């Protein structure tokens, strides 16, 4: 019987990752050159196909026959790695295309990263390869590795090879690529493929995610990024792919770039970095702070099942590290599982009487491998436990590897993740490096807790409904647009800002705009005492600081006096009073802030948090990019540190949380449909226990030309 092979359908990047032949254009005999190192890596890592060095001045390099030009190679060439001087790259690329080469890796630097001239050369390269239907990695990159045993391609000049594993890794930076391969080697993490993508003139991070999307060998996609080329496309692809496999990102530039030139609270708090975090989170992408943390998470994701929730059981043989572990878990937002009576009873049957059978389960220092195995089994079998952290210190009684093997047997039979914290020697860590069937091990409880938290977050993302549409509120957008057009560039006046909110279904405290003394009194009687008086003056942004806000005015007399006093205090602050805003005096509820700002890359950005004076002190806010669905809006509201306050503490009534979510969604629609809004601050919005008691007390909207 003949066996029919079903050929795998070819993928766009196959010529780069799985070539049968490789030409190295710019190969060199000089041992200290990149042109030698790269060729050397191809050879010593035993590339499965043929290698053709190209260099007009050498007859042979690295014992391989050398060709004067690509055209002179007699065989077909699938992939060409180009490392000639910048001025020659375009010519070589054209030569490769004429020869029928399908994949290109351009190592040579000096393109868009150096300025205008380089950018023009890079544009021309892109146009050339796109027109020919050829795919190109780079320029300005370190190359590509494929550990597939059928291929074994190391087309990089990095000194460290990669071992076979299940992580697809892409690095935007070449220099960091070298470090990434070193770290991977050190901790024994294996990769399916590694790509240093350089300037991304053709192949982008998005293309690579799609390449790994359905690759069964790649279980985790890991990325080191410095920028997002096309955030919209990234969102679309990442939201889809993270349903199938995790994407981990280290994005450089974590430190805030300082407040940008913004006058709103929202704009001042929103640095590029919080935007990126919000953006990644909404795409289901996990963000790691460092390369080390990325690998910590990646090796867990590659080995353990996803947890069903956020509840952790801790098993230990010493009290101290269990306390550290508990603190770390709770601080991250994980929960300590409440073990069932049945579980405690089982533990009592075999643990010594001094052992503690609550969570953390402290088996005390005498614990053996058998104690560990039985305890981990009982803890994992408890329905209140979603995952377990197993801690072992100063192993006098057991060989730590045997201990880990005993735990592995128990863990393998149960669909819950187990992470081990082993305070053991370097020899131990060297020995477990390559053992893929053991639970992932960590030196300390904190990184293990962080990994558990990210696993739980990712699992929650996988459970949530996909592709919820953003809600569509009925709004009079023509009228809103007309108001926004009334100012070319700058702040809307108070009345206009309140009207925009009202048109968008955001409740606003009763207000009247007035000019003279008599009008103020008439407005107050109409609204009903007590009232709030605010002076209106152009360029008066922070009203309270100029004495332009007086609250709780109870009668004509108090109000009349306030008008006179305010006129002088506002004048003293250097402003001319144009009129007065009279508002109902709102009471009760929590002061929160809603905001909109715009990011040149990511578009409109929504903010929510504790408002009033809390904004400046605590900056307890969360951001979200648009479009925003109901689930995401809920995450934003629930995600602030002070959420418990909004739920109501110590008998104090909470806020109408559904209404807060709805307002966030309404503002998201406003920001998306009206790009003339550059910034918006609702601060404070008074969030009362129900719909009728919630309202905006202050609003500021800055408009301007939308960016093209």
Tell me which residues touch Mg ion (CB under 5 A). Answer: 683, 698
Least distance in angstroms from the C-beta of 494 to ligand ADP: 9
In whole angstroms, give the CA distance from residue 42 to residue 49: 10
Binding partner of residue 326 among Mg ion, ligand ADP, none, CB under 5 to 8 Å per kind?
none
Least distance in angstroms from the C-beta of 508 to ligand ADP: 10
The smaller minimum CB distance to ligand ADP, of residues 532 and 537, is found at: 532
Whether residue 134 contacts residue 103, with contact meaning beta carbons closer than 8 Å, is answered with: yes
For residue 532, state whether it binds ligand ADP (rule: CB under 6 A).
Answer: yes
Binding partner of residue 50 among ligand ADP, Mg ion, none, CB under 5 to 8 Å per kind?
none
- CB-count exposure of residue 282 (10 Å: 0-12, 13-18, 19+): buried
Q: Chain centroid to CA 216: how far?
A: 24
The smaller minimum CB distance to ligand ADP, of residues 22 and 586, is found at: 586
The smaller minimum CB distance to ligand ADP, of residues 429 and 529, is found at: 529
Stretch of 90-98, 210-218, 290-298, 539-547 contacting ligand ADP, by CB under 6 A: 539-547
Binding partner of residue 425 among ligand ADP, Mg ion, none, CB under 5 to 8 Å per kind?
none
Binding partner of residue 674 among Mg ion, ligand ADP, none, CB under 5 to 8 Å per kind?
none
The smaller minimum CB distance to Mg ion, of residues 36 and 685, is found at: 685
Which residues, other chains included, contact 632 with Cβ-Cβ below 8 Å and sequence gap of 6+? 282, 624
In whole angstroms, give the CA distance from residue 618 to residue 610: 8
Least distance in angstroms from the C-beta of 683 to Mg ion: 4
Least distance in angstroms from the C-beta of 515 to Mg ion: 22
In whole angstroms, give the CA distance from residue 60 to residue 62: 7
Given candidates 43, 377, 384, 551, which one binds ligand ADP under the rule CB under 6 A? 551
Stretch of 152-160, 312-320, 578-586, 634-642 contacting ligand ADP, by CB under 6 A: 578-586
In whole angstroms, give the CA distance from residue 686 to residue 111: 53
Whether residue 673 contacts residue 661, with contact meaning beta carbons closer than 8 Å, is answered with: no
- CB-count exposure of residue 608 (10 Å: 0-12, 13-18, 19+): buried
Least distance in angstroms from the C-beta of 608 to ligand ADP: 16
The smaller minimum CB distance to ligand ADP, of residues 320 and 588, is found at: 588
Closest residue to Mg ion, judged by C-beta, is 698
Site for ligand ADP in 99-158 (CB under 6 A): none
Q: Provide the angle, in degrees to the nearest 10, between the axes of the packed helices 231-241 and 272-282.
A: 40
Give the x/- contact pattern for ligand ADP in 675-704, rule: CB under 6 A.
--------xx------------xx------
Least distance in angstroms from the C-beta of 258 to ligand ADP: 23
Cα angle, residue 349 at apex, residues 345 and 355 outer, rounded to 5°? 85
For residue 289, state whether it binds ligand ADP (rule: CB under 6 A).
Answer: no
For residue 542, state whether it binds ligand ADP (rule: CB under 6 A).
Answer: yes
The smaller minimum CB distance to ligand ADP, of residues 371 and 550, is found at: 550
DSSP code per residue over 153-185: EEEE--SS---EEEEEEEES-HHHHHHHHHHHH
Residue whose tokens read 């069903």: 308
In whole angstroms, give the CA distance from residue 273 to residue 228: 12
Whether residue 168 contacts residue 193, with contact meaning beta carbons closer than 8 Å, is answered with: yes
Three-state secondary structure call for residue 364: coil
Given candidates 193, 272, 317, 583, which one binds ligand ADP under the rule CB under 6 A? 583
Stretch of 20-28, 179-187, 316-324, 585-593 contacting ligand ADP, by CB under 6 A: 585-593
Rg from Cα positions in the chain:
31
Binding partner of residue 311 among Mg ion, ligand ADP, none, CB under 5 to 8 Å per kind?
none
- Could you tell me how many helices (H) and strands (E) the chain has, helices first? 24, 31
Q: Would you give the DSSP letter of residue 8?
A: P
Strands 590-599 and 677-687: antiparallel
Residue whose tokens read 């508990």: 326
In whole angstroms, give the CA distance from residue 507 to residue 496: 14
Token readout for 317 is 């043989």
**HEC letters along 390-451:** EEEECCCCCCHHHHHHHHHHHHHCCCCCEEEEEECCHHHHHHHCCCCCCCCEECCHHHHHHH
Stretch of 76-84, 537-545, 563-571, 639-647 contacting ligand ADP, by CB under 6 A: 537-545
The smaller minimum CB distance to ligand ADP, of residues 399 and 576, is found at: 576
Least distance in angstroms from the C-beta of 543 to ligand ADP: 3
The smaller minimum CB distance to ligand ADP, of residues 167 and 586, is found at: 586
For residue 215, state whether it binds ligand ADP (rule: CB under 6 A).
Answer: no
Q: For residue 248, what are the β-bridge partners?
A: 222, 286
Binding partner of residue 612 among Mg ion, ligand ADP, none, CB under 5 to 8 Å per kind?
ligand ADP
User: Taking Cα atoms as reference points, which of 29, 26, 140 lies closest to residue 80?
Assistant: 26
The smaller minimum CB distance to ligand ADP, of residues 219 and 265, is found at: 265
Binding partner of residue 586 among ligand ADP, Mg ion, none, CB under 5 to 8 Å per kind?
ligand ADP
DSSP H helices, 423-572, are 426-432, 445-463, 477-485, 494-503, 517-527, 556-572
Stretch of 87-95, 364-372, 498-506, 584-592 contacting ligand ADP, by CB under 6 A: 584-592
Binding residue count for ligand ADP, defined by CB under 6 A: 17
For residue 585, state whether it binds ligand ADP (rule: CB under 6 A).
Answer: yes
Least distance in angstroms from the C-beta of 639 to ligand ADP: 23
Site for ligand ADP in 596-615 (CB under 6 A): 612
In whole angstroms, give the CA distance from residue 510 to residue 85: 71
Least distance in angstroms from the C-beta of 617 to ligand ADP: 13
For residue 549, state whether it binds ligand ADP (rule: CB under 6 A).
Answer: yes
Three-state secondary structure call for residue 144: strand
Site for ligand ADP in 323-362 (CB under 6 A): none
Residue whose tokens read 């993928």: 11
Least distance in angstroms from the C-beta of 699 to ligand ADP: 9
Least distance in angstroms from the C-beta of 580 to Mg ion: 16
Given candidates 315, 509, 621, 687, which one binds ligand ADP under the rule CB under 6 A? 509
The smaller minimum CB distance to ligand ADP, of residues 151 and 563, is found at: 563
Least distance in angstroms from the C-beta of 425 to Mg ion: 59
Give the chain's end-to-end CA distance (angstroms, integer).
Answer: 64
Residue whose tokens read 């197993």: 390
Token readout for 272 is 């590029």
Site for ligand ADP in 454-493 (CB under 6 A): none
Least distance in angstroms from the C-beta of 614 to ligand ADP: 10
User: Taking Cα atoms as reference points, which of 633, 631, 538, 551 lies closest to residue 591?
Assistant: 551
Binding partner of residue 532 among ligand ADP, Mg ion, none, CB under 5 to 8 Å per kind?
ligand ADP
Q: Which residues bind ligand ADP (CB under 6 A)?
A: 509, 532, 534, 542-544, 549, 551, 583, 585-586, 591, 612, 683-684, 697-698
């Amino acid at each position: 019987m003949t066996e029919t092979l079903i050929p795998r359908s070819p993928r766009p990047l196959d010529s780069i990752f799985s070539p049968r032949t490789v030409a190295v254009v710019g190969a060199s005999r000089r041992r200290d050159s990149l042109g030698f190192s790269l060729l050397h890596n191809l050879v010593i890592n035993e590339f499965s196909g043929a290698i053709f060095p190209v260099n007009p001045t050498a007859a042979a390099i690295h014992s391989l026959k050398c060709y004067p030009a690509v055209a002179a190679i007699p065989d077909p060439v699938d992939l060409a790695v180009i490392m000639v001087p910048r001025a020659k790259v375009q010519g070589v690329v054209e030569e490769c295309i004429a020869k029928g080469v399908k994949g290109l890796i351009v190592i040579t630097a000096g393109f868009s990263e150096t300025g205008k001239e380089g950018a023009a050369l890079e544009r021309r390269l892109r146009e050339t390869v796109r027109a020919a239907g050829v795919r190109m990695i780079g320029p300005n990159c370190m190359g590509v590795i494929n550990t597939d045993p059928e291929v074994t391609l190391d087309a990089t000049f990095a000194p460290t090879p990669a071992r076979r594993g299940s992580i697809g890794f892409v690095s935007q930076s070449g220099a960091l690529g070298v470090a990434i391969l070193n770290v991977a080697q050190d901790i024994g993490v294996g990769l399916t493929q590694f790509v240093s993508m350089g300037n991304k003139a053709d192949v982008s991070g998005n293309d690579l995610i799609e390449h790994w999307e359905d690759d069964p060998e790649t279980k985790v996609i890991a990325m080191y990024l410095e920028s997002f080329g096309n955030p919209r496309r990234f969102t679309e692809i990442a939201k889809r792919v993270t349903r199938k496999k995790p994407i981990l990102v280290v994005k450089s530039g974590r430190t805030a770039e300082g407040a940008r030139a913004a006058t709103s609270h929202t704009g001042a708090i929103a640095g590029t970095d919080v935007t990126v975090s919000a953006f990644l989170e909404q795409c289901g992408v996990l963000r790691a702070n460092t390369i080390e943390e990325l690998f910590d998470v990646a090796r867990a994701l590659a080995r353990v099942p996803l947890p069903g929730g956020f509840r952790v059981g801790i098993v230990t043989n010493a009290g101290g590290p269990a306390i550290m572990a508990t603190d770390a878990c709770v601080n991250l937002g994980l929960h300590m599982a409440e073990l069932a009576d049945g579980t405690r009873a089982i533990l009592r049957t075999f643990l010594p009487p001094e052992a503690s059978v609550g969570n953390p389960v402290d088996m005390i220092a005498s614990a053996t491998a058998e104690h560990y195995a039985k305890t981990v089994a009982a803890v994992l079998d408890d329905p209140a436990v979603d995952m377990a952290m197993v801690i072992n210190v100063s192993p006098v009684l057991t060989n730590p590897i045997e201990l880990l093997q005993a735990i592995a047997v128990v863990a393998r039979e149960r669909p819950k993740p187990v992470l081990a914290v082993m305070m053991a020697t370097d020899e131990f860590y060297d020995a477990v490096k390559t053992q893929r069937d053991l639970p992932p091990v960590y030196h300390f409880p904190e990184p293990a807790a962080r990994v558990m938290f990210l696993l739980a977050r990712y699992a929650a993302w996988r459970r949530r409904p996909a592709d919820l549409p953003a809600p569509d509120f009925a709004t009079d957008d023509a009228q809103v647009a007309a108001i926004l057009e009334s100012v070319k560039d700058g702040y809307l006046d108070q009345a206009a800002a309140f009207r925009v909110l009202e048109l968008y279904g955001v409740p606003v405290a009763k207000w009247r705009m007035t000019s003279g003394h008599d009008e103020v009194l008439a407005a107050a009687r109409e609204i009903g005492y007590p009232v709030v008086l605010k002076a209106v003056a152009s360029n008066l942004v922070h009203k309270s600081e100029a004495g332009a806000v007086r609250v709780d005015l109870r009668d004509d007399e108090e109000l009349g006096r306030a008008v006179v006093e305010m006129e002088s205090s506002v004048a003293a602050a250097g402003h001319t009073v144009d009129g007065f805003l009279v508002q109902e005096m709102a009471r009760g509820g929590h002061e929160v802030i809603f905001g909109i700002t715009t990011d040149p890359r990511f578009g409109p950005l929504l903010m929510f948090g504790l408002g009033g004076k809390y904004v400046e002190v605590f900056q307890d806010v969360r951001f979200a990019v648009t479009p925003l669905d109901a689930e995401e809006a809920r995450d934003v509201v629930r995600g602030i540190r002070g959420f418990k306050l909004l739920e109501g503490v110590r008998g104090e009534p909470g806020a109408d949380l559904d209404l807060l979510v709805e307002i966030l969604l309404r503002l998201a629609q406003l920001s998306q449909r009206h790009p003339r809004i550059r910034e918006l601050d609702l601060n404070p919005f008074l969030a009362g226990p129900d719909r009728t008691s919630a309202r905006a007390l202050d609003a500021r909207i800055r408009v301007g030309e939308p960016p093209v």
